[in-house]
């Protein structure tokens, strides 16, 4: 499998969340994703970018386009150096929120992608990686 790295986008404020959505839209269009798949990936990116901004106190989005034989995909890394998530199981549960949200960010984003991976360490930060294949 080969990957090609794209730009790194800062996630500092709510305007960056809009920019993240636009970047993911453009990349999924370039990969020829269907409209529904584009919408799912953009929505997942919006949830995860907001998490990085609000809970992670800011971070970055790194995007990669993947080629695996004839398959092509888009992988997004949301990386922050915030407080981390003390109870990951609870954070992945629908409806649980530590803030003012609906608690659908992580669990909802996971349902919108093919692969979902999260690493977190208290006091060091959180990295969420999602992949969607065409």
Check residue 35 for interaction with other proteins (CB under 8 A): yes
Check residue 132 for interaction with other proteins (CB under 8 A): no
Show the DSSP H helices in the chain as ranges: 14-30, 35-54, 88-91, 105-111
The nearer residue to other proteins, 51 or 120, going by C-beta atoms, is 51
78, two tokens: 């949301």
Interface residue with other proteins among 12, 43, 62, 83 (CB under 8 A) is 43
Interface residue with other proteins among 6, 50, 75, 125 (CB under 8 A) is 50
Using CB under 8 A, which residues numbered 53 to 112 contact other proteins? 94, 101-102, 104-105, 107-109, 111-112
The nearer residue to other proteins, 9 or 42, going by C-beta atoms, is 42
CB 72 within 8 A of CB 31: yes
The nearer residue to other proteins, 3 or 114, going by C-beta atoms, is 114
């Amino acid at each position: 499998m080969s990957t090609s790295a794209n730009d790194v986008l800062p996630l500092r404020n709510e305007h960056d969340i809009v920019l993240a959505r636009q970047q993911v839209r453009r990349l999924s269009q370039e990969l020829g994703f269907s409209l529904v798949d584009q919408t799912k990936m953009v929505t997942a990116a919006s949830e995860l970018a907001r998490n990085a901004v609000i809970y992670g106190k800011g971070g970055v989005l790194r995007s990669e386009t993947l080629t695996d034989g004839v398959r092509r995909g888009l992988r997004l890394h949301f990386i922050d150096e915030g407080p981390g998530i003390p109870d990951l199981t609870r954070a992945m549960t629908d409806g649980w929120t530590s803030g003012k949200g609906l608690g659908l960010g992580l669990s909802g984003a996971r349902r919108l992608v093919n692969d979902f991976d999260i690493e977190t360490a208290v006091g060091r930060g959180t990295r969420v990686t999602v992949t969607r294949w065409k």
